[in-house]
């Protein structure tokens, strides 16, 4: 009785494998040529980080042989999907996409794949349950956001002087990969310390003005706050403004911990208003060029092309402010 059953199983398995290999499509190839029609579908331009990133793509275009088509989705995931559609219709060879949120941009990634366009996600990623690097798109180029949050948290643990840390967390755009992961990295470190509590955690949408408004509201509910962790520098600057309006002294009675490394943040560190900003570089143009050329040459690209980040504090902020954005 045993043998036929095993044979039966083997048959079924064989049929399964045959089906999957027919369904699974390889990543689209990219020819080696002098000029490429390249799409860069930016999500918004309301902060210096985004502007620096878009400029990095523009500055790279000529030397990399890109005829660059750039769009600006003005903070709307729906518009970003439509922008990618229009780029596909215009016949781009390659797509560089920073997906504003993890889920809503999945259809855009799948459409580009179906149209045979190699797609590289830059600076943010999509939900890995729905789209996978090396399969649905070529690769994700970007930072380790969990690590960034962890570094910010550990810096706080090492530098906080008071008895009890009362922390307000300003989250990035809801549903975006850096907001999810910077929260996880930071919160996991703080959870190990009994004298540290996150009393409120709310989205400020990665924007300065929203960050300021959210901070104003949270400050009323938690006047005893003595730490702010912002998922990016723009919200940290907004929080500093809110604290100052309320007569608090950022950097003295409220410690500010953040991520990015913008010029304003480095200046705030120099001015003693901010403690640390963990770098998240926006200068993706040259890396995008390099990875695209390697891909065209037939190399298998690592699913995550990881960007290594530095840490800026009062020890080195003045050495880096000249090159900041």
Residues that bind ligand GYE (CB under 6 A): 47, 49-50, 123-124, 178, 206, 232, 259-260, 280
| Residue 223 contacts residue 175 (beta carbons within 8 Å) | no
Min CB(5)–ligand GYE separation in Å: 53
| Residue 256 contacts residue 230 (beta carbons within 8 Å) | yes
Q: In the complex with ligand GYE, which residue's Cβ is closer, 136 or 171?
A: 171
47 burial type by CB count under 10 A (0-12 exposed, 13-18 middle, 19+ buried): buried
Q: In the complex with ligand GYE, which residue's Cβ is closer, 196 or 237?
A: 237
| Residue 325 contacts residue 262 (beta carbons within 8 Å) | yes
Min CB(96)–ligand GYE separation in Å: 13
| Residue 287 contacts residue 307 (beta carbons within 8 Å) | yes
Min CB(296)–ligand GYE separation in Å: 26
End-to-end C-alpha distance for the chain, whole angstroms? 73
Q: In the complex with ligand GYE, which residue's Cβ is closer, 137 or 206?
A: 206
Min CB(282)–ligand GYE separation in Å: 7
Q: In the complex with ligand GYE, which residue's Cβ is closer, 210 or 232?
A: 232
Min CB(260)–ligand GYE separation in Å: 5
Min CB(193)–ligand GYE separation in Å: 25
**Can you point out the beta strands (E) in 17-153?**
36-42, 66-72, 94-97, 119-122, 139-142
Q: In this structure, what token pair is assigned to residue 205?
A: 């949408």
Min CB(116)–ligand GYE separation in Å: 27
The string of DSSP letters for 251-283 reads TTTBEEEEEE--HHHHHHHHTTS--EEEE----
Q: In the complex with ligand GYE, which residue's Cβ is closer, 47 or 180?
A: 47
> How far is 158 from 162, CA to CA, in rounded Å?
11
Q: In the complex with ligand GYE, which residue's Cβ is closer, 60 or 281?
A: 281
Q: In the complex with ligand GYE, which residue's Cβ is closer, 47 or 226?
A: 47
> How far is 322 from 198, CA to CA, in rounded Å?
34
């Amino acid at each position: 009785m045993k043998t036929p059953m095993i044979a039966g199983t083997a048959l079924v398995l064989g049929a399964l494998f045959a089906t999957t290999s027919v369904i699974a499509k390889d990543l689209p190839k990219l020819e080696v040529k002098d000029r490429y029609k390249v799409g860069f579908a930016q999500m918004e331009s309301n902060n210096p980080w985004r502007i620096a990133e878009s400029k990095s793509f523009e500055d790279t275009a000529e030397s990399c042989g890109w005829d660059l088509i750039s769009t600006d989705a003005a903070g709307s995931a729906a518009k970003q999907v439509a922008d990618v559609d229009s780029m596909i219709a215009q016949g781009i060879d390659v797509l560089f996409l920073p997906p504003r949120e993890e889920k809503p941009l999945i259809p855009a990634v799948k459409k580009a794949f179906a149209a045979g366009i190699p797609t590289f996600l830059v600076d943010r990623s999509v939900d890995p349950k729905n789209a996978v690097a090396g399969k649905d798109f070529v690769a994700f180029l970007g930072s380790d956001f969990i690590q960034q949050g962890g570094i910010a948290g550990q810096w706080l643990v090492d530098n906080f002087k008071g008895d009890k840390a009362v922390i307000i967390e300003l989250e990035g755009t809801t549903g975006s990969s850096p907001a999810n992961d910077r929260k996880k990295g930071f919160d996991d470190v703080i959870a190990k310390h009994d004298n540290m509590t996150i009393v409120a955690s709310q989205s400020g949408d990665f924007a300065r003005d929203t960050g300021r408004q959210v901070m104003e509201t949270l400050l009323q509910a938690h006047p005893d706050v003595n730490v702010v962790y912002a998922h990016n520098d723009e919200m940290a600057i907004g929080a500093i403004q809110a604290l100052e309006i309320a007569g608090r002294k950022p950097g003295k009675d409220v410690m500010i911990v953040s991520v990015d490394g913008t010029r304003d943040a480095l200046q705030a560190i120099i001015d003693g208003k901010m403690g640390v900003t963990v770098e998240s570089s926006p200068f993706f143009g040259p890396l995008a060029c390099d990875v695209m050329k390697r891909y065209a040459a037939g190399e298998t690209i690592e699913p995550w092309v990881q960007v290594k980040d530095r840490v800026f504090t009062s020890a080195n902020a003045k050495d880096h402010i000249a090159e900041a954005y």
